[in-house]
Amino acid sequence: MANVSAFAGVDVGSLGTKTVILVDGEIAGYSILRTGINTEENGLHGLETALENAGLKREDLKYIVATGYGRISAPYADKTVTEITCHAKGAHYLHPQTRTIIDMGGQDCKAIRLDEDGNVTDFAMNDKCAAGTGRFLEVMANVFKVSLDELGPLSLRATEVLPVSSTCTVFAESETVSLLARGERPENIIIGIHHAIANRVGGMFSRVGIESDVFFSGGVAKNIGMRKALEDVLKVKIVEPKKDPQLVGAIGAAVIAQNSWKRGR
Amino acid sequence: MALKTLEIIKKRLEERPKEIEKARREGQKVVGWQGYNIPEEIIYALGLIPVRIGVGGDDRMVEIGARYISTKNCVFVRETVGLFAENNDPYVQNTDILAFDATCLQTYRTAEIIQYYFNKEVLILGVPRNFYWPEAKVYFTKEVEYFTRRLEKQAGKKLNYQILADTIGLYDRIRNAIVTIYTYQAAAGNYLSWEETYDLIHAGYYLDRREYLSLLEQVLAELREKQGQPFIEAVEGEARIFLSGSVLPPGDKKLIKIIQEVGGRIVGDDLWSGLIPYLDVKIPENSLQGLAVGYLNRTPHGALPYLDLDTDRRIKRLKELIQTFKAQGVIYHTLRYCDPYTFKAKETKDILQKEGIPLLEIHTEYAGSDLEAIRTRVEAFVEMLKNRYDEEVAV
Q: Where are the domains of chain B?
A: 23-160
**Candidate from A93-102, B128-137, B182-191 with smallest mean pLDDT:** B128-137
Query: Residues B64-94: pLDDT tens digits?
Result: 999 999 999 999 999 999 999 999 999 999 9
A226 lies in the same domain as A117? yes
Phi, psi of B279 (to 5 degrees): -95, 150
Of A36, A57, A60, A39, nearest in space to A48 by CA: A57
Alpha helices by DSSP H, listed for B26-127, are 40-45, 59-65, 75-86, 90-93, 105-118
**Count of CB pairs separated by less than 8 Å, A with B:** 56
Q: Are residue A264 and residue A209 in the same domain, yes or no? A: no
Substitution target from B331, B393, B395 for chain A, most A beta carbons within 10 A = B395
Per residue in B38-59, pLDDT (tens digit) is 999 999 999 999 999 999 999 9
Mean pLDDT of B274-282: 97
Distance from the Cα of A119 to chain B's closest Cα (Å) equals: 7
CATH number at residue A163: 3.30.420.40
Q: Are A29 and A9 in contact (CB under 8 A)?
A: no
Same domain, A154 and A236: yes
Question: For residue A128, which residues of chain B lie inside 8 Å, CB to CB?
Answer: 369-370, 373
Q: Mutating which of A64, A127, A206, A255 best tests the B interface, going by the most B Cβ atoms within 10 A?
A: A127
> Is the predicted ipTM greater than 0.95, yes or no?
no
**Cβ contact B373–A207 (<8 Å):** no
Work out the mean pLDDT of chain B and round it to a whole number: 95
Contact B380 A85 (CB under 8 A): yes
User: Do A211 and A114 belong to one domain?
Assistant: yes
- b/e A56-71 (16+ beta carbons within 10 angstroms → b): beeebbbbbbbbbbbb
Return the pLDDT at B392: 43
Residues A173 and A103 in one domain: yes
Instruction: List all residues of chain B from 308 to 337 with a beta carbon under 8 Å from chain A.
Output: none
CB of A82 closer than 8 Å to CB of A67: yes
Give the total residue count for chain B.
395
Is residue B268 predicted with pLDDT exceeding 60?
Answer: yes
Nearest Cα of chain B lies from the Cα of A253 at a distance, in angstroms, of 9
Who contacts A198 (Cβ-Cβ below 8 Å, separation ≥6)?
A226, A229, A230, A232, A233, A234
State whether A90 and A106 are in the same domain. Answer: no
pLDDT in tens, B193-203: 999 999 999 99
Give the residue numbers spanning the domain of A174. 97-240
- Mean pLDDT computed over B347-353: 94
Nearest CA in chain A to B384: A120
Instruction: Give the model confidence (pLDDT) of A176-207 as tens digits.
Output: 999 999 999 999 999 999 998 898 888 888 88
User: Do A86 and A152 fall into the same domain?
Assistant: no
Residue B333 has pLDDT above 50, yes or no: yes
**Nearest-by-CA chain A residue for B359:** A122
Question: Mean pLDDT, 10 residues at a time, over chain A (265 residues)?
Answer: 86 93 96 93 96 96 95 94 97 97 90 96 82 83 91 95 80 88 94 91 89 94 94 94 94 97 84
- pLDDT of A222: 92
Q: What is the pLDDT of residue B389?
A: 63
* Closest chain B residue to the Cα of A107, Cα to Cα: B373
- Give pLDDT, residue B393: 46
CATH class for the region spanning B23-160: alpha beta
**Model pLDDT, residue A156:** 95
Pairing relation of β-strands A16-23 and A26-34? antiparallel
Q: Dump pLDDT digits (tens) for B296-320.
A: 999 999 888 888 888 899 999 999 9
Domain count, chain A: 2
- Which pLDDT value is given to residue B309? 84
What's the mean pLDDT in B202-231? 97
Residue A109 vs residues A32, A83, A142, A227: alpha-carbon distances, Å: 19, 11, 20, 14
pLDDT at B135 over 70: yes
| A207 vs B contacts (CB less than 8 Å) | 346, 349, 361
Cβ–Cβ under 8 Å, residues A192 and A163: yes
Supply the pLDDT for residue B235. Answer: 84
- CB-based contact, B130 to chain A, within 8 Å: no
Same domain, yes or no: A79 and A104: no
Residues A105 and A231 in one domain: yes
